[in-house]
Structure 1
């Protein structure tokens, strides 16, 4: 199962989807436009930590967003790399 998630075509599709969705930066401050470059430089490290069961997602950035009638709700924003891996799993 994990090899299907980590297949090159699946990861490529996940990269494109995260870049297309854009979105806010997580706690690491990386923008989605920097994801492809990060993957080129660090892909083997990220994939080996996943295969060795040592990967730990980064903390989530909590942001409050306004809701109706003056209420707010907490929105959790993961890092771009964690979003990339989440997308790869969901595909």
Structure 2
């Protein structure tokens, strides 16, 4: 009788161990998927900026980066001294 109880406990602990391993595998899979999704989003943003720069060169004849740190209403916080009539509210 003791052997059957002992065997039942062993089987239960084995099943519990398998469930824990399965949950760890699912968590790891989710983390990997989220990691790759974040990389894909960053790549898309970089491509969008690259395309904006290429369009600016094609249409205007100069890169869009010449507008870095230009103006006060387009920058961080939208505050500062207006540089010309375009920046005035």
The structure with the largest helix share of the pair is 2
The answer to which structure, 1 or 2, has the higher relative contact order (CA under 8 A, 6+ apart) is 1
The structure with the largest strand share of the pair is 1
| TM-score normalized with structure 2 length | 0.27
Which has the higher Rg, Structure 1 or Structure 2? Answer: 2
